Amino acid sequence: MKLTYLGHSCVYLDTGDYRLIIDPFLTGNPKAAAVAEDIDVDYILLTHGHSDHIGDAEAIARRTGATIVAIVELADFFEQRGLKATGMNLGGSYNFPFGKLTFTPALHSSSVEVNGTNVYLGVAAGIVLNINGFTVYHCGDTALFSDMKLIGSKHKIDLAFIPIGDFFTMGPEDALLAAEWIGAKHVVPVHYDTFGIIKQDGTQFAHQLQKLGISGHALLPGESLDKTQLER
């Protein structure tokens, strides 16, 4: 399995048999390492309904026929637009062809503006994926919350994607605590540097992780990690 960071909170996963993308915000993202027209996936996984997370979901799904997997209100939003979608809810798990997916809580909001009005799109969530025995936790947009300890103790996380941008989500200090609570072997910071208001030093964050005995990877957009190198 290969995981590629495409900028902001967007992660592309290639399991060898299936291709997935999480929170595809590429168009309008000044740090994006890909364009939506080049993305070919089987599944689109969404943490919540803000435009910097669902940005290219509709265009990619319409072109590729990919299934959108999201919290039920967000999935219904895309179904009403004629797309394939599977709606789940917090705590729910399902064994998809690519592996097991579980939606976890996240402390954040979830809506999108349609014709000048904010449309409620359910609760924000994190996503835990178990693919061939390797567990990935994408926290989504969230504040620090103590149940991250429970998520880590239940799922034995190999790799976590944790937001560090501050202002809209937790900042680096809280993200370090989150990394400890999650107990992940490897951590990639996300949701930072896309815009000035969320500018952070990912390399410094990775160094702080190392002091905690956690392998930090401050990936630049377009850089990848391979399952085999993370299992060494």
For residue 5, pLDDT over 90 is answered with yes
Q: Tens of pLDDT along 98-129?
A: 999 999 999 999 999 999 999 999 999 999 99
Residue 52 placed within a domain: yes
Could you tell me if residue 138 is left (phi over 0), alpha (psi between -120 and 50 degrees) or otherwise beta?
A: beta
- Residue 71 included in any domain: yes
Question: So what's the pLDDT on residue 70?
Answer: 99
In the predicted structure, residue 205 carries a pLDDT above the cut 90 = yes
List CB contacts of 175: < 8 A, sequence separation 6 or more: 144, 162, 163, 164, 189, 205
At 145-198, the pLDDT tens digits run: 999 999 999 999 999 999 999 999 999 999 999 999 999 999 999 999 999 999
Q: Domain of 92?
A: 2-219
Residue 229 lies in a domain: no
Asked whether residue 226 is domain-assigned, the answer is no
| pLDDT of amino acid 81 | 97
Higher pLDDT among residues 232 and 214, named by residue = 214
Q: Which helix (H) or strand (E) holds 20?
A: strand 19-22
How confident is the model at residue 229, as a pLDDT? 85
Whether 15 is in a domain gets the answer yes
Q: Which residues contact 153 (CB under 8 A, 6 or more apart)?
A: 183
In a domain, 227, yes or no: no
pLDDT for 231 equals: 85
Give the pLDDT of residue 199: 98
Mean pLDDT throughout 135-144? 98
pLDDT value for 20: 98
- CA separation for the pair 45, 221 (Å, rounded): 19
pTM over 0.85: yes
Q: How many domains does the chain have?
A: 1
Percent of the chain at pLDDT exceeding 90: 98
Question: Is 231 among the domain residues?
Answer: no
What CATH number did the domain enclosing 170 receive? 3.60.15.10
pLDDT at position 79 over 90: yes
Q: Please check whether residue 224 lies inside any domain of the structure.
A: no
Q: What would the mean pLDDT of 66-81 be, rounded to a whole number? A: 98
